[in-house]
A and B are shown apart, each in its own frame.
With several copies, the nearest count.
Chain A
Amino acid sequence: MALNKLSVAAYSYSPMDLLAVAAAREVRDGDIVFTGTGLPMLAIMLAQHTHAPNSVCIYEAGSIDGRPLDLPTSVGDARCAYQSAVISGLTETLYGQLHCGYVDLAFLGGAEIDKYGNVNTTVLGDYNNPLKRLTGSGGNPDVNSQARRTVYIMVQEKRRFKEQVDYITAPGWRIRKWPGGEYVHRREVYGKYFRGGVEAVISNMAVFRFDEEGVMYLDTVHPGFTVADVQAHCGFELNVSRVKGETLPPTQEEIDLLYQVIDREGIFLP
């Protein structure tokens, strides 16, 4: 499918639509994708309906390459499993698939991210005396640490894009080597288990990527926002030297697929 920029003017789209579409474009045809609930489901399904028909989706709860008739609202949902290639459980998905090395791409979310792509979904403040407790890690760090590429989908707020996260739930590019705890490059911590890492962060305002040192830079800015807008909603000084331009907006075909086929009940896209 060729993206058709000229169709843009003819319709409107929401920030959520653009997030879903931008995420979908990170999928390469044939990718084995490990996906959580929500927007990531829209992204992988949209990719399968457009440029990546041979991409495959693994849901942590046990379904492998399902072909849902109706959009699942949880990875544990029976909807995930319809016409799946294999139905299994967590040992299979987390060890038999993920640890085994099949997973090319992961879509994940987080409450906080820092300039090295470290993500926090555990606590705000000191872990032993926190200001706020979040959901906890779930499989976020496992999937991130073993997929070849990870894409985080985030809300663009100053308090969420931080110089340094309060707690490293999921590993970015500069992480701690235990037991000592010194900060080193991800490659050094993972050694022979290194397969890749955080490739992109997609927010409601922009797409970010990481340089050779593992530092986040601004890649594209969504239509309607400026580089200054993004910097104003980012808690650390952003490298804007590599900005490529505007994020490609959704096409009419993509919007139609999202609203009329993938989320026709209006669950994530009301």
Chain B
Amino acid sequence: MGKPQNITLKEAAGLIQDGQQITFGGFTIWRRPMAFVYELIRQGKRNLHLLEVNGGTHSEILIGAGCVSIWESCWSGHELYGKLGEMVADRHVNGGMIVEDYSHGHMVARILAGAYGLPFFPSAQSLGTDLLNPEFDSLGRAGLRDGSHPKIPRKKYEFAPDPFYDRGELLLLPAANPDWAIFYASQVGEEGTVRVNVQTYADSEVIKAADKVIVLAEEIVPESYLRLEPEKNIAAGYAINYLIKLPWAAHPTGSQGFYDVDADFIRTFYRASKSQETFDRWADEWIFDIPDHERYLQKLGIGRLENIRANPVLGYSTRQKRGTR
């Protein structure tokens, strides 16, 4: 396998084919590979099957831009900065995208099964809910569970008995092995060793579960530095296929140790996401009218970036005003 191949953002986004299944690293509004999402949109990708442990600002933008035809996850929104995932909501209510709902624990089980090369993972979480209502199996209703789609399991879930301790039935959740994981990393070594700061979310599992992995690195650092504390690293270089060095690549989502969530940016996007028309205007301004990541940063401006820059000891911004006091 060897080391990851260095590549540009444009080249990397060009590798994703219409119709493929993709997933992302990060959590809600944290460590999302936003620069990559913008570039996917610029390149006009269509019919992506987005399967993710949870959604967030990145999903809303990608879905709003019409790139996604199937979304499997458990949640979309912007945390405090816009509670509803308006674009997921719009597609669910008005059509245009298949929404397949699982719980968070189910999605983690699916990615973990994929990471471990298992066909399923057991769970007793969320029994008795409408997540399990057979009438609400959206991919099944769409006729996509016939075994001819290699990334879509024949069933949404299965009940399994306990042959060992008579504990009764629990769920088996189908593995997820997306074609691509696109991943934002805090630091990557010269040979591809990956570190993420603070909470690790489902990041190590996402990398393993995907067939191929593209990493956007906030910074490239000496391998020997990362290898002094290997407890803090989540993947070796051989697990990564392509590597892009791109500072601020997670903006407006937060990257612990580098920058906080750009709350105002997300709030503004959230308001724009309440109709397709305002979304489209927002997308013109922040995606289509901007040729690349460097111009995006220029447009944001140094003041905005400095405001969210993390205090290096605490890992978060001590400048951004958060409340009323």
List A residues at the B interface (Cβ < 8 Å).
Answer: 30, 32, 37-38, 54, 56, 59-65, 67, 69-70, 73-74, 76-91, 94-96, 98-102, 104, 122-123, 127-128, 130-142, 145-146, 167-171, 175-179, 181, 186, 189-193, 263-268, 270
Contacts and interface: CB of A to CB of B under 8 A. Distances in A.
Contact of A100 (B117, B234, B315): B117
Contacts of A74: 28-30, 79-80, 261
Given A145-B129, A193-B127, 8 more contacts: A32-B238, A85-B226, A95-B105, A102-B238, A132-B89, A132-B93, A142-B106, A270-B325
B1 A136 contact: no
Contacts, number: 301
Interface in B209-254: 223-224, 226-228, 230-231, 233-239, 254
Contacts of B168: 191-193
A140 B130 CA distance: 13
B79 to A, nearest CB: 5
B199 A141 contact: no
B290 interface: no
B83 A77 contact: no
A136 B75 contact: yes
A91 B88 contact: no
A254 B203 CA distance: 38
Contacts of B254: 76-78
A131 B234 contact: no
A96 B105 CA distance: 11
A132 B92 CA distance: 8
A99 B73 CA distance: 20
B230 A87 contact: yes
B19 interface: no
B325 A96 contact: no
B204 to A, nearest CB: 7
Nearest to B171: A178
Contacts of A132: 89, 93
29 contacts: A37-B80, A38-B80, A62-B198, A62-B199, A62-B201, A64-B230, A69-B314, A76-B28, A76-B254, A79-B314, A85-B193, A86-B236, A91-B112, A95-B105, A95-B108, A98-B125, A99-B125, A127-B135, A133-B93, A137-B101, A137-B102, A142-B105, A171-B127, A178-B127, A178-B128, A178-B133, A181-B134, A190-B127, A270-B324
B149 interface: no
Given A96-B115, A135-B75, A135-B83, A176 B102 contact: no
A142 B125 contact: yes
Nearest to B77: A135
Interface in B78-94: 79-80, 83-85, 88-90, 92-93
A165 to B, nearest CB: 9
Contact of B128 (A32, A122, A190): A190
B208 interface: yes
Given A76-B30, A79-B316, A191-B167, A85 B230 contact: yes
A135 B76 contact: yes
A81 B230 contact: yes
Nearest to B197: A78
Interface in B110-153: 112, 115-118, 123-136, 138, 141
B128 A177 contact: yes
Q: Which 3 A-B pairs have the closest CB atoms?
A: A62-B199, A175-B128, A142-B105
A87 B28 contact: no
B80 A78 contact: no
A85 B266 CA distance: 31
Contacts of A122: 101, 130
B27 A176 contact: no
Contacts of A99: 105, 116-118, 123-125
B93 A168 contact: no
B202 A86 contact: no
B89 to A, nearest CB: 4
B303 interface: no
B77, B79, B83, B136: residue with the most chain A Cβ atoms closer than 10 Å: B79
Nearest to B136: A127
Contacts of A38: 80
B89 A133 contact: yes
